[in-house]
Amino acid sequence: MTTELSTALIPLLQASCPKGCGGYGGTFSAFISPQAAEQAGGIDFLRTALVQAALSLDWKPDTTGEATMHGAIGVRATDTRKIPAPYDTAVEAHRQRQLREAVEAVDAGRLVPEPNQYTHNENFMNVLIATGLL
């Protein structure tokens, strides 16, 4: 079942890469309820599927799967490969934009993750449903 989920996650990881950067620099993040995470197989299962999907894209993945202080379950996979020269500036600008938006959200008092172009909550839930995990 992990393989089916990891295969279904590949397009989501690909979509997380900055446009025009050769598939480098992607970060996929999603937040779901603890109940949904448990029903889908648990945090470790979800994280393993993310690792498998990332490795199939030749990412050097850094992943997490953990409960947040707000009661959600967060899963994340980040491509940590060395970014080649044609893409490094664009990927760094993309990452700085993500960081700036996160800091602005915290400064505005929005500590609970909200859907934005960097979180993939709805798409992740749709994949869990499509693969029969929810």
Whose CA is closest to 79, among 94, 97, 67? Answer: 94
Rounded Cα distance between 47 and 82, Å, is: 22
Buried b (16+ CB within 10 A) or exposed e, 66-78: eeeeeebbbbbbb
Per-residue model confidence (pLDDT) at position 107: 81
Apex CA 114: angle with CA 128 and CA 13, to 5°? 45
For the cut 70, the answer to whether the pLDDT of residue 111 exceeds it is: no
> Residue ranges of the alpha helices (H) in the chain?
2-15, 34-39, 43-56, 85-107, 121-130
Is 126 exposed, middle or buried (CB count within 10 Å of its CB: 0-12, 13-18, 19+)?
middle
Percent of the chain with pLDDT over 90: 62
pLDDT tens column, 19-75: 999 999 999 988 899 999 999 999 999 999 999 999 999 999 999 888 887 788 889
For the cut 80, the answer to whether the pLDDT of residue 14 exceeds it is: yes
pTM, two decimals, is 0.85
Rounded Cα distance between 8 and 99, Å, is: 27
